Copies of this chain bind each other. A is one copy, B any other.
Amino acid sequence: MHRLTIQNFGFARMPEVCFGPGVLKQLPQRVKTSGRVLLVTGSHSFLASEAYAALTQSLAQSGVTVFQTSVSGEPSPTFVDQSVDRYRAEELDWVIGIGGGSAMDAGKAISAMLPQQGSVADYLEGRETRKHDGRKIPFIAVPTSSGTGAEATKNAVLSEIGERGYKNSLRHDSLVPDIALIDPELMLSCPPDLTAACGLDAFTQLLESYVSTKASPMSDALALSGLEHFAAGFLPAYEQGASDITARSHMAYAALLSGVTLANAGLGVVHGFASPIGGYFDMPHGVVCGSLIGEATRINLEVLFGDAEKNRIVLEKFARVGVLLSGRASSSLERDCSKLVTALQALIERTQIPRLGHYNIRPSDFPRILDKTTNKNSPAVLNRDQMQSILYARL
């Protein structure tokens, strides 16, 4: 086994977590001392659901004044600015983002901008002209799918579509939601293809942060716990997710922890790819992750085994995940690592994650993707050829 190491690390505040089937019913009592909330929702399907009707009814019965807005697709700076203008005078006590990553990020950005001046576009990472001072309206995140982990992260991804399009984050330590209210019952209606893509997004976040160069003992403990629950829940959630609340719970937990660990340990090359691919093409983030994670893991391992002695600690981490996914340890580091690749490829096959070509991505697009792809905190530094081979393998 590896020698136990410990180095300097930081760990941002986590949200208060309220987890389990039925916890959505606790929402009114969490906000009842205050009177005015803004619900930011995503999909029309949630707005049409019984859960939504019950929630707004019980909020009203608790004397809460409810405002509501919806975001379709990924939130844009314009949507955030308009919402802030519209609700600034309402003196909101809480903003609640209910939905997938887009709805939670939209709510997070609105809660963060209500007490600030100017457009959110001025505050976006990489293009900022103003600095966010951390003040915000208290924010509750309620995920309805198990994927992005936005219920635990300190950033909100905003997208501008078009010629001068971009995808950037509003980021501040204080943007971690005050409460993450995670009710796996809300996930029962998530369709299989979305369940698979979101689940592999969570997996990618867990694996990349677990083997990240920025990992700490604390992020490792949580990443490993998330990976254990992913292993227990992923296929059952895909195959019988409409009725298997235990599988949904495992995946909801895995997704939550993936948000915690990515916020504190960073990510790897798959997320390096995800930014440009998501910017140029209409390929959902979870599908990008699911499509590339198997091949990216294979090449990472190939490079790391080039100096197995030096990379022993991180290779043991990959091996441990291989054992988790395959259910059985061997006595060989190399064999356990290759089990990880085999298991991932089997999951990707089984859940029919689409390839790049499905979204009209062609080899002629590779150069501009690769121009903007970074290794992030990958344990192996891949060169351009190695990165390109990942794309070819998944064309």
How many identical subunits does the complex contain? 2
A112 to B232 CA separation, bound complex (whole angstroms): 42
Taking the complex as formed, is A8 at the interface, i.e. its CB lies under 8 A from any CB of chain B?
A: yes
Write the chain B residue with the least CB distance to A4: B232
Provide a sorted-by-A list of 13 A–B residue pairs whose CB atoms are within 8 angstroms: A4-B250, A6-B249, A8-B22, A9-B17, A9-B20, A10-B16, A10-B17, A13-B14, A13-B178, A217-B225, A217-B253, A218-B225, A222-B222
Q: Is the beta-carbon distance between A222 and B229 smaller than 8 angstroms? A: no
**Is A52 engaged at the interface, CB distance under 8 Å to the other chain?**
no
Which B residue's beta carbon lies closest to that of A14?
B14
| Interface set of A (CB-CB < 8 Å, partner B) | 4, 6-23, 173, 178, 216-218, 220-222, 224-225, 228-229, 232, 246, 249-250, 253, 257
Judge whether A253 and B6 touch: CB under 8 Å. yes
Once the chains are docked, how many angstroms separate the CA of A220 from the CA of B225?
A: 9
Q: Is the interface of A mostly helix, strand, loop or mixed?
A: mixed
A11 with B4: CB separation less than 8 A: no
In the assembled complex, which residues on chain B have CB atoms less than 8 Å from the CB atom of A173? 16
Min CB gap A215→B, angstroms: 12
Give 8 closest A-B pairs by Cβ, nearest first.
A8-B20, A221-B225, A11-B17, A4-B232, A221-B221, A6-B249, A13-B16, A14-B14
Instruction: Kindly report which residue of chain B lies nearest to residue A1, judged by CB atoms.
Output: B327
User: From A19, which residue of chain B is reached at the shortest CB distance?
Assistant: B9
Distance between A87 CB and nearest chain B CB, rounded to angstroms:
25
**Residue in contact with A13 in the complex, picked from B13, B19, B246, B253, CB distance below 8 Å:** B13
Chain B residues closer than 8 Å to A225, beta-carbon distance: 217-218, 220-221
- The residues of B that contact A224 with a CB separation of less than 8 Å are 221
| Chain B residues within 8 Å of A17, by CB | 9-11, 218
Q: Please, how many angstroms separate the alpha-carbon atoms of A25 and B129 in the complex?
A: 30
How long is the Cα–Cα vector from A257 to B220 in the complex, in angstroms?
13
In this complex, what residue of B is CB-closest to A184? B6
Chain B residues lying within 8 Å of A19, measured Cβ to Cβ, are 8-11, 216
Question: Please, how many angstroms separate the alpha-carbon atoms of A178 and B134 in the complex?
Answer: 14
User: Can you name 17 extra interface pairs (CB under 8 A) apart from A8-B22, A17-B218, A218-B253?
Assistant: A4-B229, A4-B250, A6-B246, A6-B250, A7-B20, A10-B17, A11-B14, A12-B16, A13-B16, A14-B14, A19-B216, A217-B225, A217-B253, A218-B222, A218-B225, A218-B257, A221-B221
Say how far A246's CB is from chain B's closest CB, in angstroms: 7
Chain B residue contacts of A178, Cβ below 8 A = 13
A343 to B228, CA, bound (A): 28
Bound-state Cα–Cα, A249 to B220, Å? 16
Q: In the complex, what residues of B have CB within 8 A of residue A13's CB?
A: 13-16, 178
Residues of B with C-beta under 8 A to A217: 225, 228-229, 253
